[in-house]
Chains A and B, each alone.
Chain A
C-alpha cells in the first residue's frame, strides 16, 4: 500500500477544482461539471479497488469466509 496515493488523489482533486473554476469562468458550466464527474469517477474506481483489497485482507485475517 503506497502512501503517495493520498497525495495523488488530493492533487487530482485540486486539478479538477481548478479546471472546474476555469471552465466556469469561461462560460462553459456543462463541461465544468463533466470534468468534475470524470474526476470523481476515476478516484472512485481507485478507492473501490483498494476497499476490496482491504476486505480480502480482513477476510483472510479473521477467517470470515
Chain B
C-alpha cells in the first residue's frame, strides 16, 4: 500500500515525495505506539476476556514514573554514574516499566481476582473505576504542569532519505520491535504456553493444573508494563513536546480501533491494527485537509480509523486476525 502511494506521490514532484515520506515515518512511529498499547490490551483480553479501560491510566502512570525517576531522583542513574547518560535514562525507564508492571500485578490481585466468576460486565466496570482512581492519583503526582521525561534524544532529528525522523521515533520503533520479539519468545516459554492454553480454554487449562489466577496476574503485569512503555514514548517529542500530562491517559483510547481491526484476541492483529491506525490517521491528517476536503468537517483524521474499522468488520466481523466464533443455533 505504502509503495503504491509513493508512486502516486512521485508524480507530484520532490515536494510531494518529501511530504509523503514525512507522513509515512510519522504514521509508522504513531502506529508503533498504538501497537504497544493494543498489544497490552489484547494480552489482558486474551487471558481474562476483559477489555481493560484502565490501560491509558496505567500508561500515564508509567510515564510519570519514568519522568520522576529520570529527572527528579535520578534513579538508578545516581548509582551507576560510570554508565553513559543514555544508558542511565534507559535504566530509569526500565525501572518505571517494572514498577508499573508491579502495579498491574497488585491491581489484578486486589480488584480483578475477587471478581472471577462474576459477570464480565461487572469486571469491565471495575476497570473503569480503576481508570478513574489511577488517573486521579497520577494527575496529583504529575502536578499542575506537564513533566518532561528527560530522555536523551530531546528534539533531535535525522534525515532518512527524504524523511526527517525524530530520534525518539526511531527509539519508539526499535522498542516496539523488541517488545514484539519478547512477547513472541514469551509465548514459547512454559508460562507463555500456559497463558495461551488458558486463553484458549480456561477450564481445560485448569484441569491440566495451570493456575488461572497466576496467568491472569501475569497478563496484567505484562499488559501494564507494555502500557508504561507506550505511555513513555507517547509523552516524548514530537508527539507531546512537553512530557507526560493528565492528557496522556486518554491517548490509549485512540488505540481501540486497532484491536478491533486486528481482532480482539490476536497478538499479530494488535500489531498490524496499530500500524494501520497510525498510518491511516496520519495520512488523513496530512492529505484530507484544505479547501478541497473541507466538506469532511473538522477532525476527520480521527474518524478515519473508525471508518477503516467499519469496513474491516463488514468484511471480517472478527477482525483481520481474530478467531472466528462459531455458535450452534
Q: Are A and B co-members of a single complex?
A: no
Residues of chain B whose beta carbon lies under 8 Å from any beta carbon of chain A: none
